[in-house]
Chains A and B, each alone.
Chain A
Amino acid sequence: MGRYILRRLIAFIPTLIIVSFLIFIMIYLIPGDPVSMMLGAEASATEADELRRQLGLDQPFLGRMKTWYSGAVRGDLGHSLFLHQPVTSALLERLPVTLSLTFCALMISATIGITAGVIASLRQGKFTDWGIMLLAIIGISIPIFWLALNMIFLFSVRLGWFPTGGYSPISEGLGSFLKHLFLPSLALGLAYTALIARMSRSSMLEVLRQDYVRTARAKGLRDRGVILVHAMRNALIPIVTILGLTVGELLAGSVITETVFNLPGVGRLVIDAVKRRDYPVVQGGILIITFTYLCVNLLVDLVYGWIDPRIRYS
């Protein structure tokens, strides 16, 4: 197992190199630079060139890439052009926000999604099944942005239950932390709840039709035992796959959620960095998100073996 994990971690390296290379090219090709954001349209070309030189933006593509990669292998992702701090520390400062949001959203979508999916599978063809699947389709169709704004309007403005946005670190109290995170997590999680519910339903339906389930029932086992112990376990593998993929979607979705709810996370940092062409932050931010996603995928693979011991790592 240890050797397997090590091998997978080493396999991350080419992936990260390829991703960062692609990002580098994209950033290079996108028109606009931080100088125009700093100086405005009134600056002359001479003034703009002078600032570009000071910021090192006048270096050729290969020179910039070499500088960045040589720093990255030492763990130095460069210095933000706007934040006055190293990219690594800016990202580490914001990573807990994004991870907290993603984790809470995943908890919400997994809890509601799996429960709804299982119930729908047990009531296949009935009103409950139909109702859950209808809600799931609506859930998939609603944009996070729209849902988030309406949640703010209902739960914050109308009912006053939650703050409209902002982040309260866990060090300032668990209650405040969860209160600030609940609406963003719900808005983000609900969209993916629908996907998990649909996958859970189809996976459970497939398992429930298998012979061993019929045998278990014939032996006189109670329905609860059959479903939770025997059927659920085998249905979990595709669900865990979807959960792993969902983490990637949640990380991507956090960009929108963090913007609407004013959460100082990595997603919003990257968006702001793209808007003002803060190249090192864009590069570092996407690299961190990619790395997190790769780690989650590794975790999912390890969970497979945990759920089904027949799966062996070699």
Chain B
Amino acid sequence: MITDDRAVPRITRRRLLQLGAVGVAAAAGSLLVACGGESSDGAPAANATSEGGSTGSTSGTTVPSGTDGTPGSSDSGEGQDEQGRYGGVFKAATATPPPSLDVAINVTAASREATLFFLETLVTYSEDYQVIPMLAEKWDSSEDGTTYTFTLREGVKFHNGKEMTSEDVVASFTRFLDVAVRKTSFDMIESFEATGPYTVDFHLKYPSPAVLDAIAYPAGYCGIYPAEIIEGKGADQLQDTDHIGTGPYRLVEWKPDQYVKLQRFDDYQPLPGERNGLGGAKIPYFDEIQLIPVPETAARIAGLQTGEYDYAASPATTDYDVLNDNPDTTPYIIEDSTWVVLLFNFRNPISSNLKFRQAVQAALDHEALAQAITNGRSDFYRLQPSLWFPVSPFYTEIRAELYNQNDPEKAKQLLEEAGYNGEEIVLVTNRNYDYMYKVIVTAEQQLKNIGMNTRVDVIDWPAQQARWTEGDWQISTTGYLSQALFAPDAFGAFYGGGGGDAGAGYNNPEMTQAFENAARATTLEERKAAFVEVQRIFYDDVAGIKVCDIYALTSLRSEIKGYTPWYNTTRFWGCWRET
């Protein structure tokens, strides 16, 4: 009988089973009990200490109207001295974690955003995207334009207490140019040397003011480290404790994928004046800043609404009204954010045919593409032909007539001239970036309408990048940001490389020469002329198709003051919590 079988161990097992059941219930119960517990969150209250500081002007940003005292409206450069309050912890929910803090070998936005709090450059960009001094007090160029002498600010302290001198600058650039992924942007540099404790000479192979842009460009940049730390360090050999810079915050802890913790550097001496782009006065009001990657957009926004986060990166356009209607949150629109491009594969016989590319160029209805990307929100995109944003000195409307043609009949004619015979056209995109997916899916429909036999391959972003070097596709997509603002030379890596080994294999000597001319130009006028030529070739040769400028969104708690969105980056110095 069953009961007999159980005779010996019965009590023990039964009791244990019962205890197990009780344990299950108790665990579930304790979870429920915990629901009513007190909140474990909340940033420390800000101190009411007033301190000097100021901000720069807005550029290319829009702050919602009707929100008195919003960060945007208070950031006029006046009154912050009296308003700024020290103290508190600022928690920022970012979209992606930095894959590395070694920015010499990493150009991602996440790495840039995390490191700009503790690293500084010799020169940087102002609010209106001009090169301005940062760690260098000034620079002078020789008459022939081949030597740039940077005079360093005296008394600038590293986070380890040591004063920054020319020795540190030389060591940092030596290591940078050895390992940097952007080293080709510094091709004009012949050598550099310390000519005094506070002066460094950069000798160039040819006159090139572009060296200033190369140094100031904030992605894959040369941050200045103490010489004894940076000397001899290879690519990605910097340890967490090596990240000692001169910035307003010092790195306390980096837990990959979890957080970057930064604390105010008490010995930081802000420049006089106002906050100005990535330069000017950088007042570290918060005691601590935490950058917490929260990959899910809805979770970031929820955390902002509940006050768990003070900042939520990249809300969806559909979140804008919700955030704007909530008095506790303020959304910001960054107009100069990204422009969307359709790429052609120049390693493929079909898409390397100019007539084929012209057919695509003629077929597309950019308005419809932009509407699809922004979920029909006309206030979140801009249709303009230039490769540079209107705020850039290189903005030009040359070949505007070839932009947004939306002429299916012309497209069909060009397709016929191209000898297209119904071959399958492969469009490659990904779902990591929503806009890339939507633009390709919508473009596919428009291309079908002119008689193309299309197929969309949806893969992930790393796979898409790898696919660019293959020959088995015709059309793909990506987006540009910095290039359209203050780093026009950076387009050269994709379109003017000469060797055609970067990006999708575009190789046009005429274009390469135009970028070369820009790099060697000695005046702004010459540089602009070179970039006008770049845009002309871009359209005439259909090196790619510019679709539209799409705006970015960002959002903060309304009690955070002093914030101005700029260059799609996190810039929380000069911000404080209004209590």
Contact = CB atoms under 8 A, between A and B. Distances in A.
B302 interface: yes
B156 interface: no
Given A36-B466, A42-B494, A44-B497, A163 B31 contact: no
A309 B9 contact: yes
A160 B181 contact: no
Interface of B: 2, 5-6, 9, 13, 16-17, 24-25, 27-28, 30-41, 97, 99-100, 105-108, 181-184, 220, 234-236, 239-240, 255-258, 292-296, 298-299, 302-303, 305-306, 308, 432, 459-469, 478, 490, 493-494, 497, 499, 501-503
Interface string A234-277: 00000000000000000000000001111010001100100111
Contacts, number: 199
A105 to B, nearest CB: 10
B462 A275 contact: yes
A83 B302 contact: no
Interface of A: 30-34, 36-47, 51, 54, 80, 82-85, 90, 104, 107-108, 110-112, 149, 152-153, 156-157, 160-166, 168, 172-176, 178-182, 185, 212, 233, 259-262, 264, 268-269, 272, 275-277, 306-307, 309-310
By CB atoms of chain B within 10 A, which of A42, A174, A268, A277 has the most? A42
A281 to B, nearest CB: 10
B5 A31 contact: no
Contact of B256 (A83, A160, A174): A83
- Which 3 pairs, one residue from A and one from B, show the smallest C-beta to C-beta distance? A32-B462, A178-B34, A42-B493
Contact of A164 (B183, B258, B306): B306
A261 B257 CA distance: 13
Nearest to B180: A47
Contact of B97 (A30, A176, A272): A272
Contact of B34 (A110, A111, A179): A179
B35 A179 contact: yes
Contact of B460 (A83, A163, A269, A275): A275
A32 B465 contact: yes
26 contacts: A31-B459, A32-B463, A32-B464, A37-B108, A37-B465, A39-B107, A40-B220, A41-B502, A41-B503, A44-B497, A45-B469, A54-B236, A83-B256, A90-B256, A108-B31, A111-B24, A152-B298, A152-B302, A157-B302, A163-B40, A166-B308, A175-B34, A179-B35, A185-B31, A309-B6, A310-B5
Contacts of A156: 302, 306
Contact of B503 (A42, A111, A262, A309): A42
B467 A31 contact: yes
Contacts of A80: 256
Nearest to A165: B299
A259 B462 contact: no
Nearest to B97: A272
A228 B34 CA distance: 29
Contact of A84 (B240, B308, B478): B240
Contacts of A153: 302
A259 B34 contact: no
Contacts of A47: 181, 183-184
Contact of A51 (B13, B105, B503): B105
